[in-house]
Structure 1
Amino acid sequence: MNSPVKYPAPQGNPETKAFWDAASEGKLLIKRCQACGEAHYFPRTLCPFCFSDQTVWEESKGEGEIYSFSLMRKSATGPYAIGYVTLKEGPSVLTNFVDCDFAALKIGQKVKVVFKPSDGGAPLPFFTVV
């Protein structure tokens, strides 16, 4: 009998608290730099493009498309797929794909964020096929 996957709880810090609080409400946050206008993920105070500290939280629609992926067929926990999703807002997110047929994944395929419970912490964002 298969038991549900247990995801480890994220280890937050003051810089990412708003991100994990929003995840608890089913919202995916990204940061946008007010100096250069670029959006980025994983949210952090300094913009990775211009190094400004003029960044603000922005709610992502959680929609995007698969940029790249890799299917792991053999693992101690069973098959899984990881890859990059390019969000509609621009940033790319490294993620696991869940609740879908891994063999049917395709580059360019539309996906959306889903949150899965962690083991005693905030839920974690993953992506599934639309």
Structure 2
Amino acid sequence: MESRRLPLLDIENHAFWTGGSVGELAICRCQQCGHFVHPPSAACPVCASVDVEAETVSGRASVVSFSVNHQAWVAGQAVPFVLAMVELDEQAGLWVMSNIVGCEPSKVFIGQRVRVCFEAHDDVWLPMFIPEDVA
């Protein structure tokens, strides 16, 4: 398995980075106005409420933008790899930056339907996305 720089877990991002242990993508959501908040935050950017809790989302998304990277940024990183911005189905503008895996980089396209999968590293489960048409 390739080397990765892992996030430091804190109270705000813990659910996002560990939900993969039970196969769930957890995104913060304001309990007052219902707005999803990502990256994780202690306050809602829409209504300023601090009543924000992680909720499980479908993990289904569309590719909004992507880059095919041909340079390894950490030792042991396989290239080429796809770094993408995906928009989760739950809310317009609810974007997650991640990797597209499970297909050749040349097969990724804007608008492509993807679903979450996870890569485990100790106590961190990195959300990745795989094309929906991949078994």
Is TM more than 0.5 here?
yes
Deviation (angstroms), 1:51:
2.4
| 1:5, distance to aligned residue in structure 2 (A) | 1.9
Distance 2:16 2:85 in 1: 19
> Which residue does the alignment assign to 1:124?
126
Secondary structure in structure 2 of the residue aligned to 1:89: coil
Give the equivalent residue in structure 2 for 1:87.
Answer: 88
SS at match of 2:19: helix
* Pairwise CA distance, 1:104: 0.8
How many residues end up aligned between the 2 structures?
126
For residue 49 of structure 1, report the CA deviation from its aligned partner.
2.7
TM-score of the two chains, using structure 2 as the length reference? 0.82
Question: 2:83 is paired with a residue of what secondary structure?
Answer: strand
Q: Deviation at 1:108?
A: 0.4
CA RMSD of aligned residues (A): 1.8
Instruction: Determine the C-alpha separation between the residues in 1 that align with 2:83 and 2:6.
Output: 19
Q: Which runs of 5+ in 1 are unaligned?
A: none
Please tell me whether the aligned partners of residues 9 and 121 of structure 1 are also in contact (alpha carbons under 8 angstroms): no
Which residue is 2:30 aligned to? 33
- 2: CA distance, partners of 1:123 / 1:37: 25
Deviant stretches of 4+, over 4 Å: none
1:32 Cα deviation after fit: 1.6
* Normalised TM-score (structure 1): 0.85
Q: Secondary structure at the match of 2:15?
A: helix
| Secondary structure of the corresponding residue to residue 124 of structure 1 | strand
Paired letter, 1:49 = V
- Correspondence for 2:102: 99
Partner Cα distance (1:16, 1:72) in 2: 26
Q: 1:21 to 1:81 in 2, by over 3 A?
A: closer
Map 1:2-81 → 2, pairs under 5 A:
4-75=1-72, 77=77, 78-81=79-82
Give the Å deviation of 1:98: 1.4
Does residue 114 of the first structure (1) align with residue 117 of the second (2)? yes
